[in-house]
Amino acid sequence: MTDSTDTAALESTPTIDGEEKSRVAMTQATVDLLADLVAKHGQLMFHQSGGCCDGSSPMCFPEGDFLTSEADVLLGHFELPIDGTEKAGLDFWMSTEQFEYWKHTHLTIDVVPGRGSGFSVESPTGNRFIIRSALMDVA
């Protein structure tokens, strides 16, 4: 994978009631990697929890392999371009506790070389997802 920049290539559709601005975006490197992962694993989702180690990185799972609840916030929905005509939906979730700390930030999912840990589906690819953040005006 080539070195990525934090330039957003794809913005999510807002999913929080009353919000009109995207809270989450993806770089082109992320979109490209996810297209490959969708082909291999089917429908995917992201979850960002609090804490250290793997909990600090966005984790990507096959849809339904990670159960969300009222303890999670749906921050955005993506329609990923898979090929010229096909798209795959993908939701980005965050734990409610973590959202309290990050509610004033716009998140960009990026890809860097390295091996992710845990059960995130990109782990075997030699790449890992990371979050780049910037303050946002939520008013």
Domains of the chain: 10-15+23-135 (2.60.300)
Instruction: Give the position of tokens 């946002």.
Output: 136
With a CB cutoff of 8 Å and minimum separation 6, the contacts of 129 are 30, 46, 57, 58, 59, 60, 109, 110, 111, 116, 120, 122
118 or 13: which carries more pLDDT confidence? Answer: 13
Evaluate if pTM is beyond 0.95: no
Q: Given pLDDT bands bounded at 50, 70 and 90, which one contains residue 7? A: confident
Average pLDDT over residues 43-53: 80
Extract the tokens encoding 40: 């291999």
CB 31, CB 44: distance < 8 Å: no
CA-closest candidate to residue 59, choices 71, 69, 44? 44
pLDDT at 52 over 70: no
Extract the tokens encoding 43: 């429908």
Q: Tens digits of per-residue pLDDT, 70-88?
A: 999 999 999 999 877 789 9
Average pLDDT over residues 103-125: 89
